Amino acid sequence: MTVDRLNLLLLVFAAIMIVAMAAVRLATRTGLPSLLLYLGIGTAIGQDGLGLHFDNAALTQVLGYAALVVILAEGGLGTKWQDIRPSLPAASALATVGVAVSVFVTALGAHWLVGLDWRLSLLIGAVVSSTDAAAVFSVLRRVPLPKRVTGLLEAESGFNDAPVVILVVAFATTEPLDSWYALLGTILAELAIGLVIGLVVGRLGVLGLRHVALPASGLYPIAVLALVVLAYAGGALLDGSGFLAVYVAAVILGNARLPHGPAVRGFADGLAWVAQIGMFVLLGLLGTPHTMRDALLPAIVVGLVLVFVARPLSVLLSTLPFRIPWREQALLSWAGLRGAVPIVLATIPLTADVPGARKVFNVVFLLVVVFTLIQGPTLPWVAKRLKVSRHSIGQDLGIESAPLEKLHGHLLSVAIQEGSRLVGVEVGELRMPAGSAVTLVVRKGTSFVPVPATVLGPRDELLVVATDQVRDAAERRLRAVDRGGKLAGWLGTQG
- Listing DSSP states for 298-317 in one string gives HHHHHHHHIIIIIHHHHHHH
CA distance readout (Å), 126 to 169, 181, 187, 273, 440: 10, 17, 13, 26, 56
The secondary structure element, H or E, covering residue 404 is strand 398-404
- 24 and 36 co-located in one domain: no
Residue at 251 is within a domain: yes
In this model, does residue 74 exceed pLDDT 80? yes
- 50 and 12 co-located in one domain: no
- 25 and 48 co-located in one domain: no
pLDDT in tens, 193-229: 999 999 999 999 999 887 777 777 788 899 999 999 9
pLDDT confidence of residue 301: 95
Asked which of 350, 385, 420 is the last residue of a domain, the reply is 385
- 251 and 366 co-located in one domain: yes
Q: What is the residue range of 482's domain?
A: 398-491
Residue at 250 is within a domain: yes
Residue 446 contacts residue 392 (beta carbons within 8 Å): no
Mean pLDDT check: name the lowest of 5-9, 295-299, 426-430.
5-9
- 15 and 35 co-located in one domain: no
Percent of the chain topping pLDDT 90: 27
Residue at 120 is within a domain: yes
pLDDT in tens, 246-279: 999 999 998 887 777 778 888 888 888 888 888 8
- 276 and 417 co-located in one domain: no
CA-to-CA distance for 399 and 411, rounded, in angstroms? 10
Answer positive or negative: Cα dihedral of 297, 303, 308, 309: positive
- 126 and 258 co-located in one domain: yes
| Amino acid identity at 116 | L
Residue at 392 is within a domain: no
CA-to-CA distance for 229 and 190, rounded, in angstroms? 17
In this model, does residue 32 exceed pLDDT 80? no
CATH of the domain at 463: 3.30.70.1450
* Neighbouring C-alpha atoms within 13 Å toward the C-beta of 344: 29
The alpha helices in 49-146, defined as continuous H runs, are: 57-77, 81-84, 88-93, 99-109, 118-128, 133-140
Residue at 390 is within a domain: no
Q: pLDDT higher for 130 or 242?
A: 242
Residue at 309 is within a domain: yes
In this model, does residue 134 exceed pLDDT 70? no
CATH of the domain at 177: 1.20.1530.20
CA distance readout (Å), 4 to 1, 8, 359: 8, 6, 37
CA distance readout (Å), 255 to 81, 133, 326, 460, 471: 6, 19, 31, 24, 15
Residue at 393 is within a domain: no
Residue at 421 is within a domain: yes
- 348 and 221 co-located in one domain: yes
Asked which of 330, 354, 385 is the last residue of a domain, the reply is 385
- 372 and 460 co-located in one domain: no
The pTM of this model reads: 0.77
Q: What is the mean pLDDT of residues 114-140?
A: 82
- 204 and 322 co-located in one domain: yes
Query: Starting from the edge strand earliest in sequence, which strands make up the sheet with 398-404, in order?
Result: 398-404, 409-415, 461-467, 436-443, 446-448
| The total number of structural domains that make up the chain | 3
- 198 and 276 co-located in one domain: yes
CA-to-CA distance for 329 and 383, rounded, in angstroms? 11
- 207 and 266 co-located in one domain: yes
CA-to-CA distance for 308 and 311, rounded, in angstroms? 7
